[in-house]
Amino acid sequence: MPLTVTTPEDLLACVPICLGFVPEASVVMLSMPAGAGPHARVDLPPGADVAELAECLVRPAVQHRVGGVVLCLYTDLPDAPAVADQLLESFTTGGVEVIQLIAADGRCWLPMLPQQRGGPPREYDVHSHPLLVRAVVEGRVVLSSRRELEASVQSDPDAVRQVAEALQRVAPPDPGWVRETLTRHVRAGTSPGPAELARLVCSVLDPACRDAAWGWVRRDEARRHAELWLAVVRATPAPFLAAPAAVLALLAWLSGDGALAWCALDRARETGVRCTLADLVEDLLNGAVSPMQWRPVV
């Protein structure tokens, strides 16, 4: 979806479209020009070490040779200048130009580049902005917060119960069946029933079947596969969760949804079960590896 940004209000509407949710207490980096590098968001907790936080953004910008970035600082406006000064220092030291830097608190925004400071806060309403309205009309899901995104990967008790019952009579793992089943449902836009969900859950415990769940997926179909595996994760009993959540994380990364990938990784890690695919996705995210480099491997 091409986006034309001409005003700070446009920019504040563009951020949740890129992230999939409206950020809070965060620093968001958008690489410029479009497609030049990664977009990223980091938490800004109270008392944060801004220098360390800024390094998490500067490192991938330098790695991908991004010439300029736009920064949006989501915090209380009285606290914004001190944080903005540290961000500017870190990006300048890293050789990355900060083209624009604004601070926003959900109701008002202020420019934070030194030459632009001064004047009263400007009001904005991201939810009614034409860019966001257009994105929703075109099928983009934009959640109200990251907490809502985290909730989207939590278990559905009824679905978990049905899958747990179906696990008692599940067929053996079969990589060919995994690929055929996923292809059929993605093409038809349908969701697996409890019996198929149970077999998928059991199948991806086997490394060959797990590879068959993602290794052949193309970037242009990754979003539909991620939506299917989101349903799988929500229906998976806790003891089996690590592998399905790791598959979801990989497919979310491949579709360009890093926020969903991190949420899926959190679910995989909370089980305490080691999964090598989860380790791989974590490396991809920490290294700001672009999904544009992806080539199907199976």
157 and 141, same domain (yes or no): no
- CA 232/CA 101 separation, integer angstroms: 40
Q: What is the pLDDT of residue 154?
A: 96
Q: Let me know: does 167 contact 198? Beta carbons within 8 Å.
A: yes
Q: Let me know: does 15 contact 28? Beta carbons within 8 Å.
A: yes
19 and 122, same domain (yes or no): yes
In the predicted model, is pLDDT for residue 31 greater than 70? yes
Take residue 195 and report the two structure tokens written for it.
């019996």
Tens-place pLDDT, residues 42-65: 998 777 678 888 888 999 899 888
CB atoms within 10 A of CB 162: 17
Tens-place pLDDT, residues 175-214: 999 999 999 999 999 999 999 999 999 999 999 999 999 9
pLDDT band of 298, cuts 50, 70, 90: low
Q: Let me know: does 216 contact 296? Beta carbons within 8 Å.
A: yes
Mean pLDDT of the chain: 91
131 and 161, same domain (yes or no): no
In the predicted model, is pLDDT for residue 102 greater than 70? yes
176 and 209, same domain (yes or no): yes
pTM of the model: 0.83
Residue 76 resides in a domain? yes
| Segment (H or E) for 70 | strand 68-74
In the predicted model, is pLDDT for residue 104 greater than 70? yes
Q: Let me know: does 298 contact 211? Beta carbons within 8 Å.
A: yes
Comparing 159 with 118, the larger pLDDT belongs to: 159
212 and 81, same domain (yes or no): no
161 and 122, same domain (yes or no): no
Tell me whether strands 68-74 and 40-43 are parallel, antiparallel or unpaired: unpaired
Structurally, how many domains does the chain consist of? 2
Helices within 121-171 (DSSP H only)? 130-137, 146-152, 157-166
Residue 172 DSSP one-character state: P
140 and 157, same domain (yes or no): no
Comparing 247 with 17, the larger pLDDT belongs to: 247
Tens-place pLDDT, residues 108-158: 999 999 999 988 999 999 988 998 888 878 877 788 888 999 999 999 999
Nearest residue to 209 (alpha-carbon basis) of 170, 257, 153: 170
The residues facing 101 across adjacent strands are 71
Q: What is the pLDDT of residue 94?
A: 92
Q: Let me know: does 285 contact 264? Beta carbons within 8 Å.
A: no
Residue 1 resides in a domain? no
Residue type, 77: L
- CA 222/CA 177 separation, integer angstroms: 19
What is the tally of helices (H) and strands (E) in the chain?
A: 13, 6
Domain span at 136: 8-145
- Sole residue written with tokens 């242009």: 220
- CA 232/CA 219 separation, integer angstroms: 20
Q: Which residues contact 67 (CB under 8 A, 6 or more apart)?
A: 32, 36, 96, 97
**C-alpha distance from residue 182 to each of 24, 159, 222, 230, 273 (Å):** 35, 18, 12, 13, 25
Tens-place pLDDT, residues 259-277: 899 999 999 999 899 899 9
Write the CATH number for 127: 3.40.140
Tens-place pLDDT, residues 215-258: 999 999 999 999 999 999 999 999 999 999 999 999 999 998 88
Cα four-point dihedral sign 282, 140, 10, 45: negative
Q: What is the pLDDT of residue 35?
A: 67
207 and 85, same domain (yes or no): no
31 and 103, same domain (yes or no): yes
Helices 242-254 and 276-286 sit at what angle, rounded to 10 degrees?
30
Of 110, 145, 180, the last residue of a domain is: 145
Residue 3 resides in a domain? no
Q: What is the pLDDT of residue 48?
A: 64
Q: What is the pLDDT of residue 56?
A: 87
Take residue 125 and report the two structure tokens written for it.
């309403």
Residue 56 resides in a domain? yes
215 and 192, same domain (yes or no): yes
pLDDT band of 3, cuts 50, 70, 90: confident
Tens-place pLDDT, residues 82-93: 999 999 999 999
- CA 105/CA 113 separation, integer angstroms: 17
247 and 124, same domain (yes or no): no
